[in-house]
Amino acid sequence: MPARPRGAHNEPRRDVAVLLRAVAAAVTSTTAALTDARRPPSDTAAVHHALLLAESSFAQDRSEPQRPGAPQPDWRAALIAGRRAERGGRRLPEHHDPNRRDRPGEDRPGPAARARLTGRADDVAGAYRGLTDRLDEGPDRTVTDRRPTTGPGPPSAATGRADTPVTAPPPLYGTDTWLRGLAADLVRVTAPTG
């Protein structure tokens, strides 16, 4: 664990902002790799590195006396989101390579399914980037609950797409499930804790 000076209460905020920025990038790159066979696979090294720093900051913060103050985001939920992003960014492309020859009957995703899934990934990544912007503004900034819709519902304001499950071949269905999990994690991150 990196040594931090006593009283480093803002470190989790900064390191989690870096982690969530890496999560947003992993969402975009993983989805692009799964929807376009010409794209290189997702690189989760940035998520892994940011996750290690955020875990260390969280452990250091918890080992110090806690100061009363404004409610903070749920740092544990942010770490869970980082783990989910790292695992999905690594495993989905490994298991769902559209160029594999041992699955001759597996359908390729159509343009509509690819567009819808890419749009959902953009929504989730954008919500994570929005949260990092608010975290970067400092401890006095309240982290409000702005998140993508995670269940069936009206179209999102940004894209006009209904947030219903994507009907697609297994690779894209798995990616849709991963994105829904990341959106649910974001809901937990923005739920204030003491």
Q: Of 84, 70, 80, 160, whose CA–CA distance to 115 is shortest?
A: 160
User: Tens digits of per-residue pLDDT, 59-94?
Assistant: 888 887 777 766 778 889 999 999 999 999 998 887
Query: What pLDDT, on a 0 to 100 scale, did the predictor assign at position 117?
Result: 87
* Domain count across the chain: 1
Residues 79-115: b if buried by 16+ CB within 10 A, e if exposed: bbbbbbbbebbbebbeebbbeeeeeeeeeebeeebbe
Q: Of 149, 186, 177, whose CA–CA distance to 16 is shortest?
A: 186
| Residue 167 within a domain | yes
**3-class secondary structure, 40:** coil
| Residue 5 within a domain | no
| Residue 111 within a domain | yes
Distance (Å, whole) CA 105 – CA 101 = 10
| Residue 158 within a domain | yes
User: Tens digits of per-residue pLDDT, 133-178?
Assistant: 888 876 655 554 444 444 333 333 333 344 555 555 666 778 889 9
Instruction: Tell whether the model's pLDDT for residue 186 goes beyond 90.
Output: yes
Give φ, ψ of 193 to 5 degrees.
-120, 160
Domain of residue 21 covers 11-189
